[in-house]
Amino acid sequence: MRSHKIEPYRSVFDATSGPGCPLCRYMRNYQAKCVQASLNPRPTGICNFHAWAIAAIHDRLDASQVFMTLLSSVSLGIITSCDICTRIEKEGVSQLRLVCNSFKTMTAAQWLHIYGEICIPHSLELRKIAPALHVHTIDKATAQYRDKLMRSLQEQQGMDIEGAGWGILGHAAEFLAGQRGLYR
Ligand SMILES: [Zn+2]
Ligand SMILES: [Zn+2]
């Protein structure tokens, strides 16, 4: 994870413009915020992804502070849960509820227009909590977005320009597996 600009999103509703899954966009930003704020509160348990993210984005002295807390709180022989993953999971559930509630105020066409580029992991989670009536809209969005990604990947076959299509590869990876660190 590289340090990147934190957007002032208040909820997933602020993260709906641009290509790709809006839940992934919001949650990636939230995750970056948690990692950048890991000096306060300092995590007492950490996973593989977030340990490396802390090492990568903080300067040496700040990262040392975080790791000293982790080293002093770690219980050898016991698997501890990651504080950052726990925060992300909780936030993810409340943002999914907001997206789920948006069905009440939008037609299926509006919903598809705004949330149409949803990734597979988020579509599966949303399916679990959405009213049965709207499951079809979620499935339609997921299938349409898959077809769009397929077309974009096919179009760039044979193009041999350095870096060309990197954005589309990132979106294909996000579609299949969600943003890095959000799913394990
Ligand atoms: Zn997503
Ligand atoms: Zn974690």
- Specify the pLDDT at position 164: 63
Is residue 32 a part of any domain in this protein?
A: yes
Predicted pLDDT of residue 161: 66
Can you give the pLDDT at residue 159? 74
Residue 37 lies in a domain: yes
> In sequence order, which residues have a C-beta less than 8 Å from that of residue 81 and are 6 or more positions away?
45
**Low pLDDT (below 70) residues in the chain:** 1-3, 160-165, 184
Which ligand has the shortest distance to the CA of 122? Answer: 1
The number of distinct structural domains making up the chain is 1
Q: Angle formed by the axes of helices 135-155 and 166-177, to 10°?
A: 150
Q: Residue 18: inside a domain, yes or no?
A: yes
Closest Cα partner for 138 from 155, 121, 154? 121
* Secondary structure percentages of the chain, helix, strand, coil, to 5: 65, 0, 35
Supply the pLDDT for residue 18: 87
As a whole number of angstroms, the distance between CA 86 and CA 84 comes to 5
pLDDT of 184 reads 62
> Ligand 1 centre and the CA of 172: distance in Å?
11
Instruction: Give the domain range for residue 76.
Output: 12-177
pLDDT at residue 137 in the model: 96
Asked if residue 6 belongs to a domain, the reply is: no
Does a structural domain hold residue 184? no
Question: What is the pLDDT, as a whole number, of residue 157?
Answer: 85
Q: Which residues place a Cβ less than 5 A from the ion ligand 2?
A: 47, 50, 82, 84-85
Interatomic CA distance for residues 87 and 80, integer angstroms: 14
CA of 71 to the centre of ligand 1 (A): 33
Lookup result for tokens 């975080």: 66
pLDDT at 165: 67
Looking at residue 79, its pLDDT comes to 78
| Burial grade of 122 (CB within 10 A; 0-12, 13-18, 19 or more) | buried
pTM: 0.91
Q: Is residue 160 part of a domain?
A: yes
The C-alpha atoms of residue 37 and residue 174 are separated, in whole angstroms, by 24
Tens of pLDDT along 95-149? 999 999 999 999 999 999 999 999 999 999 999 999 999 999 999 999 999 999 9
